[in-house]
Amino acid sequence: MSIDEAKRLAGIAACDEVKSGMKLGLGTGSTVHHTVVELARRYHEEGLDVVGVPTSIATHDLATELGLPLVELDDVDALDVVIDGADEVDQAFQLIKGGGAALLREKLVAQASGAMVVVADDRKMVDTLGAFPLPIEITPFGGGTTQRAIASLLGCDASLRMDGDQPLVTDNGNHIIDAHTGPTLTDPAATEAALLALAGVVQVGLFIGMCDVVHLAGASGAERLVRPGGRLA
């Protein structure tokens, strides 16, 4: 089975976590794309009664195109489940996210959700986080100062993410620093806290204690992994 087909199956399998009447967080990424497409199909063909809060403009546009009903995060008291992707997942279900530059909205939606379901391919499973560069959203004002502070704090190269010859601008009007720590983040909660203490840092692409289930795509298909003691255990 190709990895693309496995990702499609994992994205579809994650829809089984959804029940009629739910308010959903709709994540961002290539695997979650299949989830949104399947949710829209079930909405139109099977009468699945759901509304979604998208975590990015791209997901908003996809869901709108497919006719999946959407609401604003501020218009709901809470979300039942968020389904999202990840750039890395470790054995403790801790995540690195932000490869798609949507980490701030993704974390806002995840924190407002009763449970978090991640869809990813098995190349994203790691023993220690950090091989994927850690995305950190920062304010454009004083960006160079914040970039240097991040590099000094983490003791690694910290690069400004570019979009062509200009800094990439997030959906929130901010910039992204990618910290090339390597697989060294053995205490991601402490790393997150230290980075958030820097005034120019808006949010960090570390998701700690949020992920409850991973639908993992591999050569043999999709596998459902459950965090012990998690909200969907």
Residue with tokens 């139109």: 44
> What is the domain partition of the chain in residue ranges?
3-125+208-220, 134-204
Separation between Cα atoms, residue 132 and residue 31, nearest integer Å? 17
Beta-bridged to residue 181, according to DSSP, are none
Same fold, 3-125+208-220 and 134-204: no
- Confirm whether pTM is higher than 0.85: yes
Separation between Cα atoms, residue 180 and residue 122, nearest integer Å? 21
Superfamily of segment(s) 134-204: ACT domain (3.30.70.260)
- Structure confidence at residue 25 (pLDDT): 98
Separation between Cα atoms, residue 87 and residue 132, nearest integer Å? 7
- Structure confidence at residue 7 (pLDDT): 87
> Catalytic annotation on 137?
no
Question: Alpha helix locations (H) across the chain?
Answer: 3-13, 30-46, 57-66, 103-111, 143-154, 188-196
pLDDT in tens, the chain (233 residues): 788 888 899 999 999 999 999 999 999 988 899 999 999 999 999 999 999 999 999 999 999 999 999 999 999 999 999 999 999 999 999 999 999 999 999 999 999 999 999 999 899 999 999 999 999 999 999 999 999 999 999 999 999 999 999 999 999 999 999 999 999 999 999 999 999 999 999 999 999 999 999 999 888 888 999 999 999 98
- Structure confidence at residue 88 (pLDDT): 97
CB-based contact 212:161 (threshold 8 Å): no
Which residue is catalytic, options 106, 137, 192, 223? 106
- Amino acid letter for position 158: A
Q: What is the CATH number of domain 3-125+208-220?
A: 3.40.50.1360
